[in-house]
Amino acid sequence: MKEGKKMRFILLLLGLGLVWALGKKGKTKFWDATLSTTLFVILLLAILFSFFTVIPAGHVGVIDFFGHVSDRTLKSGIHLVNPMAKIIKYSIKTQEATWMYHRKKG
């Protein structure tokens, strides 16, 4: 998970609080109530999706939570993770390396 995802999670929480506060204040008009409810649901879904990460096939994920690296690795698939943790994805595909060796004469 990148640093931007942590910031996005924090901004989503702040936006959710703002929409909730505005929804409590402006319940006089139907449009205000509908708009605030819609925004609340969208932000709530965005926050829920931030709890999941996808590790592609041929990769593993390593969890880094504020500098503490977990011993647990994430295999390919969908995983439930802490939204504040950084997930580092590493390729585990077999790669072919070729070496050229030139012998000096003399």
How is the beta sheet containing 86-91 ordered, strand by strand? 68-74, 59-65, 86-91
Non-local CB neighbours of 90 within 8 Å, separated by 6+ positions:
59, 60, 61, 62
CA distances (Å), origin 39, targets 13, 90, 106: 12, 36, 78
Q: What is the pLDDT along the chain (106 residues), one digit of tens a residue?
A: 455 667 777 777 777 777 767 666 655 565 566 777 777 888 888 888 888 889 999 999 999 988 888 888 899 999 998 888 888 899 988 878 788 877 777 5
Model confidence, pTM: 0.57
Q: What is the dihedral of CA 11, 12, 18, 21, to 10 degrees?
A: -140
Place of tokens 């942590």: 6
